[in-house]
Amino acid sequence: MLDKIRIILVNTTHPGNIGAAARAMKNMGLGRLYLVAPKKYPDEEAVWRAGHALDVLDNVVVTETVDEAIGDSGLVIGTSARERKIPWPLMTPREVALRAKEEPSKQDIAILFGREDRGLTNEELQKCHIHLNIPTADEYSSLNLAQAVQVVSYELRLAAFGEALPSEKETQNDKRDWDVPLASTEAMELFYAHLEQVLIDIDFHDPKTPRQTMTRLRRLFTRVRMDDMELAMLRGILKKIDKTVGGK
Amino acid sequence: MLDKIRIILVNTTHPGNIGAAARAMKNMGLGRLYLVAPKKYPDEEAVWRAGHALDVLDNVVVTETVDEAIGDSGLVIGTSARERKIPWPLMTPREVALRAKEEPSKQDIAILFGREDRGLTNEELQKCHIHLNIPTADEYSSLNLAQAVQVVSYELRLAAFGEALPSEKETQNDKRDWDVPLASTEAMELFYAHLEQVLIDIDFHDPKTPRQTMTRLRRLFTRVRMDDMELAMLRGILKKIDKTVGGK
């Protein structure tokens, strides 16, 4: 899907934004950049800001008009910051990305980004099937051009690779990619017994007046879901304490 | 939720990135920017790239160390591009945003962004409860710093305003109904220092050949997110061991 996307920057003033947009695109796996009548391009600043996305700049297509850049694209999307007089189908970046993914046409999908200071003209926006609006704070709604390209490219990548939704099982305690097997319940019980004995030996814990010491420690170590190596390390610490206490 | 977020840029080289990050933040409704030992700041380039986010720069907090910038934040998240030797709880920007939304603590949420050329150090990453990785193309995985701030801020905004996001499942680490406040990062650092000293005293750990002892222990206790009472209990155990060892 990503290779069907044309990112079209219209009348860009600052070459740095062109370079930064190229980098944002490549970071997200996009590669087809079109420039409609850029004010200053090629330019060193574009090269500098592109980082390792020089191949995107090498393959850039510069055109005189928006129509040339759109070419035979089957779906045309225009970014729009402001509310326009005439209501138009309006989508968020996420909706656009899902739409792009479902687009049946084999033709390209063109996404237009306007001028730094005033976006796309009404005439340009009327060439678009869909208007795209990036959610922003009311106080300052105008994103830098390359940042807007970044957000849209990011959503396109997530949609393309099905990462748009966090996996249900994904939690911060997820151990699917953990390097060591999780400790078994039996091993944990042996650990608790050992821990309790050590706590008695160092006069921290008295089984006759237990308060909630062991309950709280069990809750702590149950929550963390230790792996075998972590458990072995804690057992090793307990053994060292045993030895120290025994030697006193 | 957005006013609890501290964006922390560590050792930033280019002032332009600081300005661009401030703009990205304000566009998304964030305002609290911390700079840890920036190479060149204040600087005209930062002002120019900030656009109309000068108030974010005016309120910037510059610190000498990462610990000062984190302060008493209750949840610390570190951006990480690379695979690390020791797996750590790893989330996407979207997962982090959902997590930040559900965070029960009234304390701040700190999000760290590393140096342009080499990100955060392992030591810095070990201070973090969660590592944050932005999905990228394999060919070019290093986002510009301000672009990374943009993507994360964008997801935070979407989560904060509940725009069509699936609600996160209850997890076993959910602390919304927890009975005791979570331990602060400062208190945890004191605990790690105490723990390391005790491990040296009982001959378990030698700082000259540390292997990965402290890294693994930090990972363990970072994962569990201890509350104040649990931390006090563990500190009490360490003190008892101190006493026993001292008395041998």
pLDDT digits over B150-190, tens only? 999 999 999 998 654 333 323 334 444 566 788 888 888 89
pLDDT single digits (tens) A23-71: 999 999 999 999 999 999 999 999 999 999 999 999 999 999 999 999 9
- Spatial distance between the Cα atoms of B174 and A26, rounded to a whole number of angstroms: 37
ipTM of model: 0.78
Is any Cβ of chain A less than 8 angstroms from the Cβ of B59? no
pLDDT single digits (tens) A168-184: 334 334 444 566 787 87
- Spatial distance between the Cα atoms of A96 and A102, rounded to a whole number of angstroms: 10
With CB atoms and an 8 Å threshold, state whether A202 touches B157: no
Partner A, chain B 137-196, Cβ-Cβ below 8 Å: 137, 139-144, 146-147, 150-151, 154, 157-158, 161, 163-164, 166, 168-169, 171-173
Is residue B113 within a helix (H) or strand (E), and if so which, with residue range?
Answer: strand B109-113
What pLDDT shows up at residue A51? 96
Partner B, chain A 62-91, Cβ-Cβ below 8 Å: none
Is any Cβ of chain A less than 8 angstroms from the Cβ of B246? no
The token duo for A42 is: 């090629």
pLDDT single digits (tens) A97-117: 999 998 877 889 999 999 999
pLDDT single digits (tens) B36-70: 999 999 999 999 999 999 999 999 999 999 999 99
The token duo for B197 is: 């000293």
Q: Could you say which DSSP state residue B183 is in?
A: P
pLDDT single digits (tens) A73-97: 889 999 987 665 566 788 999 999 9
State the distance between the two ends of chain A, measured CA to CA, in whole angstroms.
Answer: 70
What pLDDT shows up at residue A13? 97
Residues of A in contact with B51 (CB under 8 A): 140, 142, 144
What pLDDT shows up at residue A102? 87
The more confident residue out of A192 and A11 is: A11
What pLDDT shows up at residue A166? 41
Cβ–Cβ < 8 Å for A45, A57: no
pLDDT single digits (tens) A139-149: 999 999 999 99
Provide φ and ψ at A173, rounded to 5°. -100, 10
SS3 A115: strand
- Spatial distance between the Cα atoms of B21 and B53, rounded to a whole number of angstroms: 9
pLDDT single digits (tens) B95-149: 999 999 988 778 899 999 999 999 999 889 988 989 999 999 999 999 999 999 9
Query: What average pLDDT does chain B have?
Result: 88
- Beta strand B61-63 with A130-132 is unpaired
- Spatial distance between the Cα atoms of B175 and B104, rounded to a whole number of angstroms: 6
